[in-house]
Amino acid sequence: MPLPLLALAVASFGIGTTEFVIMGLLPNVAADLGVSIPSAGMLVSGYALGVVVGAPILAILTSRMPRKTALLALMAVFIIGNALCAIAPDYATLMAARVVTAFCHGTFFGIGSVVAAGLVPPSQRARAIALMFAGLTLANVLGVPLGTALGQAAGWRSTFWGVVGISVIALLAILFWVPAVKHDRSGSLLQEFRVVRRPQVLLAMSISVLASASLFSVFTYITPLLQEVTGVSPHGVTMVLLLFGVGLTIGNFVGGRLADWKLMPAIIGIFSVLVPVVAALSFTSQFFIPAVVTIVLWGVVAFALVAPLQVRVVDEAHGAPNLAAILNQGAFNLGNAGGAWIGGVAIAQGMSYTAIPWIGATLALLALGATVLSSTLERREDVALSVADRC
């Protein structure tokens, strides 16, 4: 891995650990702060909404910054936010600190993906983005299980201090390894916002929302599902999360290669597999080995979508790659928040944990429909352009 991509991957490792580790610590946080598990689950939604709100704000604030300077500033905000999480005395303060931390998330991944894609030939863009997102998947392989184990052994606050240390290393790696690449900033921000209003760009972002909502409607509550339905111990949950992270890592690289091969057929194919896999968890969650196999396969398929969907948005947003990439990260996290909220409401209304995967499957099916629609419209546009050229 080239050093600039390694630096971005280290940063995404820290960001991914903060985003996902809270799910493994939900019972600990809920007990310590005196709130219910669904209320603690809203910390996932709060973080995701922070990304959604912060993405357009920081897109504006960083629009004229050199990309490397913007990445360093965003990591500094991330470090401060995690330190605030570690010292939060109550639920409200922790929620506010999570939102502060989340503000840099979408913009960092948006700018970082553009930087990563610019470091390689055009035919390898999706794989370069997948390499950057490898830190995010490794966060689930190493960061989340180790952070969960650390939080269970030394208190959940210690996990956030650990992320602070990782983030400092990431900031130094970006400082020394990421090149200061010049980019065209001659266009106005208003023109860039006009670009991202194109129907295909908005449709691509909608697919990102639905894909993330499908994942987080189930994954947010994976710890109580495993403990109460499958009968897994807290230590066993850590091992299952580790295996899930392995699945995410495999899926990330597979998705990058498929996207560099044929983008839209790859996205349609992945969604077609995702729907039955998520639905199967409703049945397999009652048995340990089938549950683990389903969860690992689910991780492979779900995260195979990340790099392709990011490339799709950037491809459709000609003239505004930075802004489109940033806003698509906001779209992913809008789905995170919506999925966690939908799952929490369903549980609060009495739905069993075994029924929650049906929500994820339904959302994935809607995403598949939107992808087929986008591909159909694209083919019609290509035919119309071809006819116009002949005339």
Give yes or no for residue 383 having a pLDDT over 80.
no
pTM here?
0.80
Residue 3: pLDDT band (50, 70, 90) is: confident
Give pLDDT, residue 207. 96
The first and second tokens of residue 330, run together, are 């906001």
Give pLDDT, residue 106. 80
Residue 48: pLDDT band (50, 70, 90) is: confident
Of the two residues 337 and 366, the one the predictor is more confident about is: 366
Give pLDDT, residue 173. 93
Residue 381: pLDDT band (50, 70, 90) is: confident
**C-alpha angle with apex 372: 245 to 321, nearest 5 degrees?**
65
Residue 363: pLDDT band (50, 70, 90) is: very high
Give yes or no for residue 321 having a pLDDT over 80.
no
Report the candidate in 146, 128, 132, 110 with the shortest Cα–Cα distance to residue 17: 146
* Residues in contact with 169: Cβ distance below 8 Å, sequence separation at least 6, in sequence order: 10
CA dist 261 and 221 (Å) reads 35
Give yes or no for residue 318 having a pLDDT over 80.
no
Looking at the structure of the chain, the number of domains it has is: 1
Domain of 346 in residue numbering reads as: 3-390
CA dist 59 and 322 (Å) reads 8
Residue 67: pLDDT band (50, 70, 90) is: confident
User: Domain with 202 in it: what CATH number?
Assistant: 1.20.1250.20
Estimate to the nearest angstrom the gap between the alpha carbon of 51 and the chain centroid.
10
Of the two residues 295 and 337, the one the predictor is more confident about is: 295
Give yes or no for residue 77 having a pLDDT over 60.
yes
b/e burial code for range 329-349 (CB count within 10 A of at least 16 → b):
bbbbbbbbbbbbbbbbebbee
